[in-house]
Amino acid sequence: MLEQLNNYKDESTLAFVPTEYSIIYDSILYTLKNIININRNYEDNRIAEIVNNSKIKKIYLFGNHPFYRFILPRFNKHIEVCWVFNESFSNLSNSKVREMLNTIFEYYDRRLIKIIGCISKDNQKVFENAGYRCEYFKLEIELINHQIKNANSIGILSDDSDPNNNFYNQLAALTLIDYDTCKFKSTMKETTRFVKYFNIKYKKVDDLNDVMQGNFVNLYINFTNTNKELIKKSYNYGVPVIIGNSDFYTNNKYLNDHLVVKSDDDINEIVEKIKFVQNNYKKILEEYNKTIF
């Protein structure tokens, strides 16, 4: 970390990102450039010394890491710290998300951070109405024109261990369509039982990038919390994404009408949307490529 910090000491901004934020890491790197990846707890006073004696004026924090408790009280007061809340309020049912939000509030009250960052404008409004200083943080990703030919596989981007991710309804929809295989990450034994019981053709992979690539469609039909950067990354691989009832496609009526599932737990509607993508793949990519998100 010390070597990385020395490389960035003449920059004006810096971001600390825990390794577990792999889903949006590419977006953070593309947007902010100057990234320190945290993979263990660094309790070294030299870190603060380098930052305090650098040209860094603003620091972004992502996730929640023990390192933050060590380092925040040691930064000079003139350095503006923005802690980004990269979650949905609906995910506060998750104890780790609650812990992170409570920690953000604690350090804001102690004036060790000055801004709460939001990747959702709705979250920003809630925080601001409660009296907090906020910043809308728009994560971008490099646009790459990938094209896929004759793909008949499907990826599920959702998490099978999160009840808000609607994972099993998406799997169930596969029993009603024609496809070659379905790729997904999985941490639950119940998922293996489910796919075997319903004879679902599947392939478990370890990396979400491997889930995304080489499909004609990816499913991200969550009840709540749509990760917009994940959707953009999928399109970089040339794979359209069917999503739950969110506002991602509102800038394009065609995509909004055909790729947004209005009733997230309606398996027949999920099937209908998948079949639409099968029959209109090229048109969907054309519409996406001419729309600003």
Cα separation, 47 vs 72, whole angstroms? 11
Phi, psi of 207 (to 5 degrees): -120, 135
42-70 burial, b if ≥16 CB within 10 A, otherwise e? beeeebbebbeebebebbbbbbbbebbeb
Do 160 and 106 belong to one domain? no
Strands 80-85 and 154-156 come out as unpaired
- Comparing 101 with 164, which gets the higher pLDDT? 101
3-state secondary structure of 161: coil
Residue 145, in any domain of the structure: no
Say which DSSP state 146 is in: -
Same domain (yes/no): 89, 214: no
Q: Which residues contact 64 (CB under 8 A, 6 or more apart)?
A: 18, 96, 99, 100, 103
Is 143 part of a structural domain of the chain?
no
pLDDT at 66: 92
**Residue 146's pLDDT is what?**
62
Answer yes or no: do 261 and 190 share one domain. Answer: yes
Torsion of CA 256, 257, 262, 264, to 10 degrees: -70
- Residue 181: pLDDT over 90: yes
Q: Is the pLDDT of residue 120 over 80?
A: yes
| Residue 73 belongs to domain spanning | 2-136
Mean pLDDT of 237-245: 93
The predicted structure's pLDDT at residue 110 = 95
Confidence check: pLDDT of 245 > 90: no
Confidence of residue 145 (pLDDT cuts 50, 70, 90): low
Q: What is the CATH number of the domain that holds 231?
A: 3.40.50.2000
Share of the chain above pLDDT 70, in %: 96
Q: Are 1 and 21 in contact (CB under 8 A)?
A: no
Clarify whether residues 258 and 169 are in a common domain.
yes
Answer yes or no: is 98 within a domain: yes
**Residue 199 domain-assigned (yes or no):** yes
The helix/strand count (H/E) of the chain reads as: 13, 11
Count of domains for the chain: 2
pLDDT in tens, 51-63: 999 999 999 999 8
Judge if 210 and 120 occupy the same domain: no
